[in-house]
Amino acid sequence: MLAAGMLVLFWLVLRLFAGVLAPFVAAAVIAYALDPPTSRLVRLGLPRGIAALLMVLAMLAFMLLFALLLYPLILSQVGLLVGRIPDYVHLLQQWANHLIGTLQQSLGPDAVTAKLRDLVSSQAANMLTFVISTLTGLITGGFALFNVLTLVVVTPVVAFYLLRDWPRVVAMIDSWLPRHYAPTIRAQAREVDRILSAWVRGQALCCVILALYYALALTLAGLDLGLIVGMSAGILSFIPYVGSISGGVTALALAVAQFPTWGGVLRIVGVLVVGQILEGYVIYPRFLGDRVELPAVWVIFALFAGGAAFGFLGVMLAVPAAATIGVLCRYWLRRYLDSRLYLDPPH
């Protein structure tokens, strides 16, 4: 009953304060990710407060460097994409007309009328305009999100205090545990921490490496929008299969629209194939491996369910919740398999 009451209270807090909790949850994620290097600095002799301040300043310096170097390039590519929307719309209309003409020759004019042909052509153009405008809005809106005062000012400050007081907070929560069940709860918490830390840090490294590879490789292959497509594919790689599929489809579509011959398209295909080989056989086995007991389907469901329930806040909380639920389900499954209900059920 206590656990059920705490879950209901947690759900109510999320529903009531979802609009203001995002900076604090982001600060908690930052503090959790930066706790190991901060603890290493403390073991080297630095006070915990100074070590936490150095780590937060290093994170801010990295974000500032990213903004100064890449933000103008990304904005220029977004402007290039917006300027080419009419050309892409015209190409899509030509392709739709050609497809309808082929169907009309194969099936006859009675099956495919001229009115249907015009309708498909116009709807294809409208669909492409909607998709491109949505993507550009998401990109520019995502960067505008970082200009919000709460995320720029509140998140680093809260992250510093959480990082400085992290061992004290963990010790305080540990002191609240019921003494009889404390060893079991600690064991499950350590298992959640092992899986979650391996996923967060390993997935972050994988996303950075894939974003750098796709952005550089697609740009060197001659794709005009290679930087923004490659970075988007790398960043979306934290959702299994979504980053590679969306980046591959977008890159191929832009290559077909840009290059007059198939040589350029084949270069883009080569970049994507090499990226998939590196992702599946080098990057993910090296940085994630078998340490993460989170199936891809479970991660995808958790991310979409969290986003549908609580928006951006739910996306940030989805993976920790999925890792916790997975650990508890495996624990209760082991308890069940060792119980009399499974081994020797009563007659």
> What pLDDT, on a 0 to 100 scale, did the predictor assign at position 202?
83
Of residues 116, 115, 124, the one with CA closest to residue 96? 124
What pLDDT is attached to residue 334? 92
Domains of the chain: which residue ranges? 21-89+130-176
One digit per residue, the tens of pLDDT, for the chain of length 347 reads 888 898 899 888 888 887 778 888 889 989 998 999 999 999 999 999 999 999 999 999 988 887 787 777 777 777 776 677 677 666 766 766 666 667 666 666 655 555 555 555 555 555 555 555 555 554 444 444 444 556 677 889 999 999 999 999 999 999 998 899 999 999 999 999 988 888 887 888 888 999 999 999 999 998 888 888 898 888 888 877 788 888 898 898 888 888 877 888 899 999 999 999 988 888 888 877 656 677 878 888 888 888 888 877 788 888 888 889 989 999 999 999 998 888 876 66
C-alpha 105/C-alpha 95 separation (Å) is 15
pLDDT of the residue at 269? 92
Amino acid at the residue 304: F
Q: Are 93 and 121 in contact (CB under 8 A)?
A: yes
Residue 289, CA distances (Å) to 27, 144, 224 in order: 27, 35, 34
Label residues 247-267 b or e (16+ Cβ within 10 Å = b).
Answer: bbebbeebbeebbeeeebbeb
- Give Cα 261 distance to the centre of its chain: 34
Reading the block at residue 207, the tokens are 């996303």
